[in-house]
Amino acid sequence: MAMGGNVKMFDYNKKLQYPINIKKKNLKFAKALVTQYGGPEGELGAAIRYLNQRYTMPDDKGKALLTDVGTEELGHVEMICAMYSQLTKGATIEEMKNAGLDVNYANHGMGTYPTNGDGVAWSSMYFSTTGDPLADLSEDMAAEEKARAVYEHLMDLTDDTDILMPLEWLRQREIVHFQRFKELYDEYKKKAIL
Amino acid sequence: MAMGGNVKMFDYNKKLQYPINIKKKNLKFAKALVTQYGGPEGELGAAIRYLNQRYTMPDDKGKALLTDVGTEELGHVEMICAMYSQLTKGATIEEMKNAGLDVNYANHGMGTYPTNGDGVAWSSMYFSTTGDPLADLSEDMAAEEKARAVYEHLMDLTDDTDILMPLEWLRQREIVHFQRFKELYDEYKKKAIL
Amino acid sequence: MAMGGNVKMFDYNKKLQYPINIKKKNLKFAKALVTQYGGPEGELGAAIRYLNQRYTMPDDKGKALLTDVGTEELGHVEMICAMYSQLTKGATIEEMKNAGLDVNYANHGMGTYPTNGDGVAWSSMYFSTTGDPLADLSEDMAAEEKARAVYEHLMDLTDDTDILMPLEWLRQREIVHFQRFKELYDEYKKKAIL
Amino acid sequence: MAMGGNVKMFDYNKKLQYPINIKKKNLKFAKALVTQYGGPEGELGAAIRYLNQRYTMPDDKGKALLTDVGTEELGHVEMICAMYSQLTKGATIEEMKNAGLDVNYANHGMGTYPTNGDGVAWSSMYFSTTGDPLADLSEDMAAEEKARAVYEHLMDLTDDTDILMPLEWLRQREIVHFQRFKELYDEYKKKAIL
Amino acid sequence: MAMGGNVKMFDYNKKLQYPINIKKKNLKFAKALVTQYGGPEGELGAAIRYLNQRYTMPDDKGKALLTDVGTEELGHVEMICAMYSQLTKGATIEEMKNAGLDVNYANHGMGTYPTNGDGVAWSSMYFSTTGDPLADLSEDMAAEEKARAVYEHLMDLTDDTDILMPLEWLRQREIVHFQRFKELYDEYKKKAIL
Amino acid sequence: MAMGGNVKMFDYNKKLQYPINIKKKNLKFAKALVTQYGGPEGELGAAIRYLNQRYTMPDDKGKALLTDVGTEELGHVEMICAMYSQLTKGATIEEMKNAGLDVNYANHGMGTYPTNGDGVAWSSMYFSTTGDPLADLSEDMAAEEKARAVYEHLMDLTDDTDILMPLEWLRQREIVHFQRFKELYDEYKKKAIL
Quote the minimal CA–CA distance from D181 to chain A in Å. Answer: 35
Q: Is the dihedral of CA B92, B94, B98, B101 positive or negative?
A: positive
- Written as one string, the DSSP assignment of E37-81 is HHSTTSHHHHHHHHHHHGGG-SSHHHHHHHHHHHHHHHHHHHHHH
Distance CA A163, CA B110 (A): 42
Banded pLDDT at E4 (limits 50, 70, 90): very low
Once rounded to an integer, what is the mean pLDDT over residues D180-190?
97
Banded pLDDT at A3 (limits 50, 70, 90): very low
Quote the minimal CA–CA distance from D111 to chain F in Å. Answer: 19
Looking at residue F13, its pLDDT comes to 83
Looking at residue E48, its pLDDT comes to 98
B121 Cβ under 8 Å from any chain C Cβ: yes
What are the chain E neighbours of D131 within 8 Å (beta carbons)?
149, 153
E179 Cβ under 8 Å from any chain F Cβ: no
pLDDT higher than 90, residue A15: no
A40 Cβ under 8 Å from any chain D Cβ: yes
Instruction: Report pLDDT digits (tens) over E59-87.
Output: 999 999 999 999 999 999 999 999 999 99
Give the contacts of B159 (CB within 8 A, at least 6 positions apart). Answer: none
What are the chain C neighbours of B97 within 8 Å (beta carbons)?
28, 157
Distance CA E76, CA E81 (A): 9
Quote the minimal CA–CA distance from F128 to chain E in Å. Answer: 8
Subunits next to E (3 or more Cβ pairs <8 Å) are B, C, D, F
Q: What percent of chain B has pLDDT over 90?
A: 89
Q: What percent of chain E has pLDDT over 90?
A: 89
Banded pLDDT at D41 (limits 50, 70, 90): very high
Q: Across chain D, what does the average pLDDT equal?
A: 94
Strand E10-12 and strand F10-12: the pairing is antiparallel
- The dihedrals phi and psi of A123, each to the nearest 5 degrees, come to -140, 145
- Is there a contact between B153 and E101 (Cβ–Cβ < 8 Å)? no
Quote the minimal CA–CA distance from F9 to chain A in Å. Answer: 33
Looking at C39-160, list the stretches that DSSP marks H as alpha helix, in order from N- to C-terminal side.
Answer: 43-53, 60-88, 93-98, 102-108, 133-156
Q: Is the dihedral of CA F98, F101, F107, F110 positive or negative?
A: negative
Burial zone of A160 (CB within 10 Å; 0-12 exposed, 13-18 middle, 19+ buried): middle
Query: Which of E7, E10, E21, E71 is best to mutate for the F interface (most F CBs within 10 A)?
Result: E10
Q: What is the DSSP letter of B75?
A: H
Burial zone of F104 (CB within 10 Å; 0-12 exposed, 13-18 middle, 19+ buried): buried
F150 Cβ under 8 Å from any chain A Cβ: yes
B98 Cβ under 8 Å from any chain A Cβ: no
Subunits next to F (3 or more Cβ pairs <8 Å) are A, B, D, E
Looking at chain D, which residue has its C-alpha nearest residue E129?
D146
Q: Inter-chain contact C107–E28, Cβ cutoff 8 Å?
A: no
Looking at chain D, which residue has its C-alpha nearest residue A34?
D103
Looking at residue A14, its pLDDT comes to 80
Subunits next to D (3 or more Cβ pairs <8 Å) are A, C, E, F
Query: Which of E36, E139, E141, E186 is best to mutate for the D interface (most D CBs within 10 A)?
Result: E139
Once rounded to an integer, what is the mean pLDDT over residues D166-190?
97
> In angstroms, how far is the first alpha carbon of chain B from the final one?
38
Of the candidates D119, D120, D157, which has its C-beta nearest F106's C-beta?
A: D157
Angle at F26 between CA F24 and CA F30, to 5 degrees: 130
pLDDT higher than 80, residue A8: no
Looking at residue F2, its pLDDT comes to 35
Quote the minimal CA–CA distance from A38 to chain B in Å. Answer: 9
What are the chain F neighbours of A35 within 8 Å (beta carbons)?
none
Looking at residue A4, its pLDDT comes to 42
Looking at chain C, which residue has its C-alpha nearest residue D6?
C17
Looking at residue E13, its pLDDT comes to 83
Task: Kindly list the distances between the CA atom of residue E90 and the CA atoms of A193, E87, E110, F131, F192, in Å, as whole numbers in the listed order.
Answer: 52, 9, 9, 14, 21
Strand C10-12 and strand B10-12: the pairing is unpaired
Quote the minimal CA–CA distance from C91 to chain E in Å. Answer: 13
Of the candidates C38, C77, C132, which has its C-beta nearest D109's C-beta?
A: C132
Instruction: Report pLDDT digits (tens) over F90-143.
Output: 999 999 999 999 999 999 999 999 999 999 999 999 999 999 999 999 999 999
Quote the minimal CA–CA distance from F157 to chain E in Å. Answer: 25
Q: What percent of chain D has pLDDT over 90?
A: 89
Looking at chain A, which residue has its C-alpha nearest residue F154?
A106
Query: Which of D27, D35, D41, D122 is best to mutate for the F interface (most F CBs within 10 A)?
Result: D35
Once rounded to an integer, what is the mean pLDDT over residues A118-145?
98
E103 Cβ under 8 Å from any chain B Cβ: yes
Looking at chain D, which residue has its C-alpha nearest residue F101?
D32
pLDDT higher than 70, residue B1: no
Once rounded to an integer, what is the mean pLDDT over residues F159-181?
98
- The dihedrals phi and psi of F123, each to the nearest 5 degrees, come to -140, 145
Banded pLDDT at E16 (limits 50, 70, 90): confident
Instruction: Report pLDDT digits (tens) over A168-192.
Output: 999 999 999 999 999 999 999 998 7
Once rounded to an integer, what is the mean pLDDT over residues A133-140?
98
Of the candidates C62, C55, C27, the one whose C-alpha atom is nearest the C-alpha of residue C158 is: C27
Of the candidates D71, D85, D109, which has its C-beta nearest C10's C-beta?
A: D71
Task: Kindly list the distances between the CA atom of residue E63 and the CA atoms of E76, E77, E181, F80, in Å, as whole numbers in the listed order.
Answer: 20, 21, 12, 17
Instruction: Report pLDDT digits (tens) over E139-185.
Output: 999 999 999 999 999 999 999 999 999 999 999 999 999 999 999 99
pLDDT higher than 50, residue C128: yes
Of the candidates F123, F131, F152, which has its C-beta nearest B125's C-beta?
A: F123
Q: Across chain B, what does the average pLDDT equal?
A: 94
Q: What is the DSSP letter of A120?
A: P
Q: Inter-chain contact F51–E77, Cβ cutoff 8 Å?
A: yes
Banded pLDDT at B193 (limits 50, 70, 90): low
* Residues paired with C10 in a beta bridge: D12
Beta-carbon pairs below 8 A across chains C and E = 50
Task: Kindly list the distances between the CA atom of residue F62 and the CA atoms of E84, E111, F134, F186, in Å, as whole numbers in the listed order.
Answer: 19, 14, 11, 12
Q: What percent of chain B has pLDDT over 70?
A: 95
pLDDT higher than 50, residue A28: yes
B3 Cβ under 8 Å from any chain C Cβ: no
Looking at residue E2, its pLDDT comes to 35
Looking at residue C42, its pLDDT comes to 98
Instruction: Report pLDDT digits (tens) over C164-175.
Output: 999 999 999 999
Distance CA B166, CA B171 (A): 8
Beta-carbon pairs below 8 A across chains D and F = 50
Beta-carbon pairs below 8 A across chains D and E = 69
What are the chain C neighbours of A146 within 8 Å (beta carbons)?
128, 130, 132, 135, 138-139
Q: Inter-chain contact C102–E157, Cβ cutoff 8 Å?
A: yes
Q: What is the 3-state secondary structure (H, E, C) of chain F?
A: CCCCCCCCCEEECCCCCCCCCCCCCCHHHHHHHCHHHHCCCCHHHHHHHHHHHHHHCCCHHHHHHHHHHHHHHHHHHHHHHHHHHHHHCCCCHHHHHHCCCHHHHHHHCCCCCCECCCCCECEHHHCCCCCCHHHHHHHHHHHHHHHHHHHHHHHHCCCCHHHHHHHHHHHHHHHHHHHHHHHHHHHHHHHCCC
Q: Across chain F, what does the average pLDDT equal?
A: 94
Of the candidates C124, C112, C41, the one whose C-alpha atom is nearest the C-alpha of residue D42 is: C124
Burial zone of D111 (CB within 10 Å; 0-12 exposed, 13-18 middle, 19+ buried): buried
Q: Inter-chain contact D56–C121, Cβ cutoff 8 Å?
A: no
Q: What is the DSSP letter of B119?
A: S
Instruction: Report pLDDT digits (tens) over A148-165.
Output: 999 999 999 999 999 999
Looking at residue C33, its pLDDT comes to 98
A13 Cβ under 8 Å from any chain B Cβ: yes
The reply to whether the predicted model has a pTM over 0.80 is: yes
- Is there a contact between B112 and B85 (Cβ–Cβ < 8 Å)? yes
**3-class DSSP assignment, residue C121:** strand
Among B11-15, E66-70, F88-92, F177-181, the minimum mean pLDDT is found in: B11-15
Q: What is the DSSP letter of A115?
A: B
Of the candidates D4, D72, D115, which has its C-beta nearest C17's C-beta?
A: D4
Query: Which of E1, E3, E6, E9 is best to mutate for the F interface (most F CBs within 10 A)?
Result: E9
pLDDT higher than 60, residue F12: yes
Banded pLDDT at C7 (limits 50, 70, 90): low
Quote the minimal CA–CA distance from F95 to chain D in Å. Answer: 11
> In angstroms, how far is the first alpha carbon of chain C from the final one?
38
Q: Inter-chain contact E157–C121, Cβ cutoff 8 Å?
A: no
pLDDT higher than 90, residue D163: yes
Quote the minimal CA–CA distance from D125 to chain E in Å. Answer: 6
Of the candidates D106, D109, D119, which has its C-beta nearest A120's C-beta?
A: D119
